[in-house]
Amino acid sequence: KNWEKTFFEWMDNIQPWCISRQIWWGHQIPAWYGPDGKIFVAVDEKTALEEANHFYKKKTPLTRDADVLDTWFSSSLWPFSTLGWPDKTAELKKYYPTNVLVTGFDIIFFWVARMLMMGLHVMKKPPFQEVFVHALVRDEKGQKMSKSKGNVIDPLKLIEEYGTDALRFTLTALLAPGRDVKLSVSRIAGYRNFVTKLWNASRFCQMN
């Protein structure tokens, strides 16, 4: 409920979206240009060449658009593209639409809104009925974790050093509705000691 107002403010004030990116990775835009600049949009190069040859009445070389699609454009197709679309598969029929999407608030507009847009446009129905927005796990100073900041905490390394139960207990203890989690290694170490006491007490009870 806390994010409904933000979501609808974004949607009411929506701006044009540039879906092309000039980067090395991503889904390349499926568009090819003829010698006169005419654009041929096709699922693959073979189909584009066939369309171009038919249009120009001769074999004609094409140049593919060098840009790629914005990551969030590709991600917005996820609810149905992963289920075999555009084929009418059994998985698509069974799992689209679904009931609940679970996500963080930081990508409500980038991902959630755009999945809704694509779902309504392509499938004629929304991909989900409800959105459950959870908190974010931040570093001990409350900063969002990112590789550029160098403050990312790898959960696999934490589990290796402190154990699964210690990490679970720490996250459970820090969780509160609507609040982000400030995670520090020292907290996990502290709760590891507490979990160890619980483990030893349980073993003692079992022995006696």
In a domain, 109, yes or no: yes
Q: Let me know if 102 is exposed, middle or buried by CB neighbors in 10 A (0-12, 13-18, 19+).
A: exposed
Are 86 and 102 within one domain? yes
**d(Cα 131, Cα 138) in Å, to the nearest integer?**
21
Are 116 and 163 within one domain? no
> Of the candidates 44, 112, 43, 41, which has an alpha carbon nearest to the alpha carbon of residue 78?
112
**d(Cα 165, Cα 189) in Å, to the nearest integer?**
11
Per-residue pLDDT of the chain (208 residues; tens, 9 = 90+): 778 888 888 889 989 999 999 999 999 999 999 999 999 999 999 999 999 999 999 999 999 999 999 999 999 999 999 999 999 999 999 999 999 999 988 889 999 999 999 999 999 999 999 998 888 889 888 888 888 888 898 999 999 999 999 999 998 888 776 678 888 899 999 999 998 998 899 999 998 8
Are 127 and 145 within one domain? no
Alpha-carbon torsion, ordered 77, 80, 84, 88, to 10 deg? -130
- Which residue type sits at 106? D
Kindly report whether the peptide bond that precedes residue 35 is cis, defined as omega within 30 degrees of 0. no
Are 118 and 159 within one domain? no
CB–CB of 136/178 below 8 Å?
Answer: no
Per the structure, the complete domain to which residue 175 belongs is given by: 139-207
Distance of CA 51 to the CA centre of its chain: 35
Looking at residue 160, what is its pLDDT?
A: 94
**d(Cα 119, Cα 127) in Å, to the nearest integer?**
6
In a domain, 49, yes or no: no
* Predicted model pTM: 0.75
What domain count does the chain have?
A: 2
Are 75 and 24 within one domain? yes
In a domain, 71, yes or no: yes
> Of the candidates 72, 75, 61, which has an alpha carbon nearest to the alpha carbon of residue 17?
72
Are 117 and 182 within one domain? no
Are 22 and 96 within one domain? yes
Distance of CA 30 to the CA centre of its chain: 22
- As given in the structure block, the two tokens for residue 181 are 């989690």
In a domain, 34, yes or no: no
